Chains A and B, each alone.
Chain A
Amino acid sequence: GGMLAAAALLVLLAAGPGRADTGRDTLREELLLSPLPAGDVAATFQFRTRWDADLQRGAVSHYRLFPKALGRLVAALGVRELHLALTQGFWRTRTWGQPPLQAPAGAELWVWFQPTVTDVDKAWKELSNILSGIFCASLNFIDSTNTVTPTASFKPLGLANGTDHHLLRYAVLPREVVCTENLTPWKKLLPCGSKAGLAVLLKAERLFHSSYHSQAVHIRPVCRDASCLAVSWELRQTLTVVFDTFSSGQGKKDWSLFKMFSRTLTDACPLASESKVYVDISPKNKEKELLEVTPAPTSVLEAVVQGDKRTYAAYDLLSPSLFNTSRSLNVQLKWKRPQDSSELPTPILHAHRYVSGYGLQTGEISTLVYNTHPYRAFPVVLLETVPWYLRLYVHTLTIITKGKENKPSYIHYQPAQDRRRPHLLEMLIQLPANSVTKITIQFERALLKWTEYPPDPNHGFYISSSVLSALVPSVIAMKDVDVEQSPLFTSLFPSSDGSSYFVRLYTEPLLVNLPTPDFSMPYNVICLTCTVVAVCYGSFYNLLTRTFHMEEPSRGGLAKRLANVIRKFRGVPPL
């Protein structure tokens, strides 16, 4: 009956308004393989879904390539920009060079909200809870004690009308451990899942057997075209992993896709409009090429990435010629002659941070920022977030460059409130050419309440990485390129002009010991007191319940007999 009725109604409704344009969506996927100076290999996956529709209007509810879970989140909570990174390990900028995209160890989340959001804190809390559910991460531990609102370090990366920093929230959970359970939901957001395209390489057993693993989600509004009259939404899913091929490959620096991922590529994701693998084959030290990649790349391109001219061998998985000769693509790289690894090029900007001092009362955080550029000075914005249980003494803040005090041109300091919010210290520091700047600040360790200690408190407390954002002058001039055409790894951060490029670096997270009480003490006290009380009770009880009666003196104990024997010897009458 019901079926017939429905059929009738559908026939009645055959005519109606025409379809609305839901917007085009495209997917681009790419993999960048770059051999690192120390012999490791970094693999950076980027999947970009671009949707020519305005998520904010709320009218959009029909999803194709863009994942519904994230789209609804953006629409429901008034998110303008969302950046989430889950990282295991630390990117060693000094030896590995400038990363395409670095993230601090643990979980990092920063979000710009729409100006229409009235209660940003509530939306932030709700957002972190939902993301925690989507990515199976403990983002629900983000609360006011680890959330800050930076004023200068984090600018919107996408389209933005104003930059009222009250709409920004930033939090890092340095203790977060990233593993398979975070990777699986991340892969599920890809239109092709891990069934086709570059994502087939993402096998957890290999990815987590690495020196560095970082997966991220970036959502931002971008210009739909050059005229920028309409907004498109971009979802970038990036995954960076560093394999130590040198030690696992018995001292050989040669690698292949199969060696790294135990998989090879067989096809592109059928939904992708672009699917490419890039291999960084830039010659080092202007010498002749030392590397040999097989099979022959479909094309070789030169690009200026982070102020450096680089050469990439590109494989286009969508070109039909690639899979003609062999059914699968296994990119291999061989070094023509053993390379001298002593002459590592140091990146222009890098930093190092440590905690010093002794005892459990005070300490000092020192940050060393290096500018190795031979002749150009540039400013850097340093962001420090320190939890409230380290009480920073701001009067001890010293910044020393080349033996002289370096006065920051901008300082924003928000003191912590116990159990409410962390310290936030932002400084704009000028780094002279070829210099090391040392920033130190002393702190006192606070005593926590016994319920506030995390499990295993003797492991220490993590202090999240400090963030360095800088426009680094480039060695060679960059020309303006069409963002839509250039490889994805060049285009997340906007380049301001041709002479400099944007770099965001994270220092090491710190591990600080706090005075920890003996957690078994309450129980020990209870045991001790109870024992004392029980002993007293026992003797009183005995006193009260025992019946006393006189006893005839017997022959006496052992002592008496012993005394009598001695007396006998002495000839004295016994007792």
Chain B
Amino acid sequence: QVRLAVPVAVVFAPGSVPGDLPRPLPFRDVEEMEISVNVRTSVTSQYEMVYRGTTAQEEAALDAATAREADAALHPLQDSSLGSLTVYVVPETSSLLPQGISVYVGKHRSALVRAGGGLAALRMRLRQLTQVMSFTASSIASVLSDRVPDGQLGPDTRRHLKSSLGYEITFSLLNPDPKSHAVHWDIEDAVNRYVQPVLDKLSLVANFSVDSQILYYAVLGVTPRFDKESSSFLLSAHSLPHVINPVEARLGSSAASLYPVLNFLLYVPERSHSPLYIQDKDGAPVNTNAFHSPRWGGIMVYNVEAPASPQASLPLHVDVDMVRVMEVFLAQLRLLFGLSREELPPEFLLESPGNEGLADWELDRLLWAHTMENIATVSTTLTSLAQLLDKIGNIVIKDDVASEVYQAVASAQNAVAELAVGHLHLAFQASKKAVTSSERAFFDPSLLHLLYFPDDQKFAIYIPLFLPMAVPILLSLAKIVRETRQRKKEPTKMD
């Protein structure tokens, strides 16, 4: 039974305290919510609310002109531990929030909420807000997806990458036609400018390594269709699944590490297939000219403008506009990590995360999900290890394997305990440790079931013994049967 505790501080600015508060400020309150994954598993989320008034410093910070400034000023005053949230309730008439907006989510772990409508309405709003900023039932269910019965999950939930200790990000430029296009991309600079800040922020979650390569004569697996109207080539949505396979063979595996690879491909179509556009399901061109493949990466098609004069000398020198490319790749990266911003009610306003590419609370969301996923992975791994041991009775468990198993169980229990008291960071680290230990135990070379001689084959070897021994037994059995049958017949004969 897993319990996720989220510490939430609700701070009332002067003039925003609802009239129907049950107790005078400050006071504590706990709100629980049950997330059921399947018949046997359910997760309880527990929001530990602390209601209080503002301090003088917070009051001063809330006097700022805009929400963004207030957010920046409030940041040093908050509890900055991972997973904790601070909500400031401002008076209904406050000019801090723009017109029509009643909830503003900042870059860090705080939000501003416009008061109004009494305690019930505030609670409702708080519930929505805390779910946006920590986890929702669907985000928890999606990380436990292998336990959820099929068909209950939306297509989006399978898009997210599995939790891992590290990821390798590979940017590949595919140039199938080096005779006509000499393509240059300044990937090093682009990575340093746009990708590295995001990865620095994500470094808490996993290790990342970034590299890039240029592949020549790498073609897509699908021949695009020529469209006369627009005199361009089109890749329809249903042919996209066939695009990746031939390319993948060229990408090269990450031989030196075991981490999953995220591939981002920039495809410069051949001159004879330019310009190339991707069509969505309805036949309309996709304006980014890119698509992504869940748990694999993304592909973007980068069209080269035809030269003004047809006699222009080949190869054509092309400098890739890295801003345009990275914009797409970063958005795909967020999608792959499950950081897409969900549909929100219109009165919500989310601050853009700035140059880190990721708000603090989005990082928390990722950590909540990954911690849960790690715990689930550990339990699955250990269960299958136990199943293997049940199947092969005489398997030898070495001491180091045993200690890894104990370590995994202890770390997993530790992670669950830390989650229940709301220490997200400690819980995440414990869950990472548990995953490492359990994988090491499970993949230990001494636990290969092929190393053990199956029992049924032992019987086969001793057939030369069993067969001749069975013959006299069977014969005498047959004799007994024959005799009893005769004995049964005999009385009727006497009659």
Docked Cα-Cα span, A272 to B416, in Å, equals: 58
A533 and B327 contacting across the interface, CB-CB below 8 Å: no
**Contact assessment for B473 and A541 in the assembled complex, using a CB-CB cutoff below 8 Å:** yes
User: How many angstroms between the C-alpha atoms of A61 and B256 in the bound complex?
Assistant: 13
Question: Do the beta carbons of B339 and A2 come within 8 Å of each other?
Answer: yes
Assess whether A4 is in contact with B189, with CB atoms less than 8 Å apart. no
Known A2-B339, A62-B211, A133-B253; contact A9-B350, beta-carbon cutoff 8 A: no
Cα A9 to Cα B331 in complex, Å, equals 11
Among listed A14-22, A218-226, A341-349, A499-507, interface-contacting one: A14-22
Q: Check A73 against B256 for contact (C-beta < 8 Å).
A: yes
Contact assessment for A191 and B216 in the assembled complex, using a CB-CB cutoff below 8 Å: yes
B334→A12 contact, CB < 8 A: no
Q: In the assembled complex, how far is the CB of residue A383 from the closest CB belonging to chain B, in whole angstroms? A: 30
**Cβ distance A328 to chain B, nearest Cβ, rounded Å:** 16
Contact between B352 and A8, CB atoms less than 8 A apart: yes
B380 on the A face (CB < 8 A): no
B256 and A76 contact, CB distance less than 8 A: yes
What's the least CB distance linking A12 to chain B, in Å?
Answer: 5
Number of interface residues of B (CB under 8 A): 57
Closest to B323 in A: A10
> Beyond A1-B350, A61-B211, is A130–B192 a contact (Cβ under 8 Å)?
no
Query: Within residues 328 to 368 of chain B, which ones have a CB less than 8 A from any CB in chain A?
Result: 328, 330-331, 334-335, 339-341, 350, 352-355, 357
Report the separation of the CA atoms of residues A65 and B173 in the bound assembly, to the nearest whole angstrom: 12
Query: Contact at B211–A72, with CB atoms within 8 Å?
Result: yes
User: What total of chain A residues lie within 8 Å of the partner, measured CB to CB?
Assistant: 56
Query: Which A34-71 residues have a C-beta within 8 angstroms of B?
Result: 61-65, 67-69
From A63, A196, A533, residue with most partner B Cβ within 10 Å: A63
Q: Which one of A68, A76, A133, A542 has the highest number of Cβ atoms from chain B below 10 Å of its Cβ?
A: A68
Q: Do the beta carbons of A9 and B461 come within 8 Å of each other? A: no
Any A CB within 8 A of the CB of B19: no
Mask: chain B, 105-140; 1 = CB below 8 Å from A; 0 = not = 000000000000000000000000000000000000
Closest to B341 in A: A1
The A/B interface has a contact count, at CB < 8 Å, of 150
Which chain B residue shows the least CB distance to A540? B472
Check A527 for interface membership: any CB of B closer than 8 A: yes
* Contacting residue for A9 out of B194, B255, B469, CB 8 A: B194
Within 8 A of A (CB), among B183-224: 186-189, 191-194, 209-214, 216-217
Q: Are A271 and B216 in contact (CB under 8 A)?
A: yes
- Whether B149 sits at the interface, judged by CB under 8 Å, is no
Q: How far is the CA of A526 from the CA of B468 in the complex (A)?
A: 13
Q: How many angstroms between the C-alpha atoms of A19 and B186 in the bound complex?
A: 8
Identify the closest chain A residue to B343 (Cβ): A1
Residues of A within 8 A of B189 (CB): 16-20
Pair B256/A538 contact, Cβ less than 8 Å: no
Distance from B18 Cβ to chain A, minimum over Cβ atoms (Å): 31
A61-B353 contact in complex given A535-B468, A537-B469, C-beta closer than 8 Å: no
Residues of A within 8 A of B494 (CB): none
* Residues 521-575 (chain A) with a chain B CB within 8 angstroms: 523, 526-527, 530-531, 533-535, 537-538, 541-542, 545
With A and B bound together, what is the CA distance between A191 and B255 in angstroms? 19
Complex Cα distance A9/B334, Å?
14
Complex contacts, B335 vs chain A, CB 8 Å: 2
B residues 230-274 in Cβ contact with A at 8 Å = 249-250, 252-257
Asked if B216 contacts A193 (CB within 8 A), the reply is yes
Pick the contact of A542: B191, B256, B334, B472 (CB < 8 A): B472
Set of chain B residues within 8 Å of A22, measured between Cβ atoms: 188
- State whether A538 touches B214 (Cβ < 8 A): no
Minimal Cβ-Cβ distance residue in B for A21: B188
Given contacts A9-B357, A130-B256, contact A64 B327 (CB under 8 A): no
Given known A-B contacts A67-B252, A193-B217, A62 and B194 have beta carbons under 8 A apart: no
In the assembled complex, the Cα of A20 lies from the Cα of B209 at a distance in Å of 19
Residues of B within 8 Å of A195, CB to CB, are 216-217
Whether the pair A538, B471 counts as a contact (CB closer than 8 A) is yes
| B14 / chain A contacts, CB cutoff of 8 Å | none
Residue A260 lies at the interface, judged by CB distance under 8 Å to chain B: no
Q: Are the C-beta atoms of A2 and B216 separated by less than 8 Å?
A: no
Given contacts A19-B189, A20-B188, A63-B211, whether A530 and B357 have CB atoms under 8 Å apart is no
Q: Which residues of B contact A134 (CB under 8 A)?
A: 255
Q: Is A3 an interface residue (CB 8 A)?
A: yes
List of B residues within 8 angstroms of A8 by Cβ: 352
Task: Check: A188 CB closer than 8 A to any chain B CB.
Answer: yes
Say yes or no for A333: interface residue by CB 8 A criterion: no
Contact B178 A534 (CB under 8 A): no
A270 at the interface (CB under 8 A from B): yes
A301 on interface, CB distance cutoff 8 Å: no
Q: Are A68 and B252 in contact (CB under 8 A)?
A: yes
Separation in Å of the B271 CB from the closest CB of chain A? 13
8 further contact pairs, Cβ within 8 A, besides A193-B250, A534-B467: A1-B341, A5-B341, A62-B191, A63-B213, A65-B214, A68-B211, A69-B253, A537-B472
18 contacts between A and B (CB under 8 A): A1-B340, A1-B341, A1-B350, A2-B335, A6-B326, A10-B326, A16-B189, A19-B186, A67-B213, A68-B213, A72-B255, A188-B249, A192-B216, A193-B217, A271-B216, A526-B464, A531-B468, A537-B469
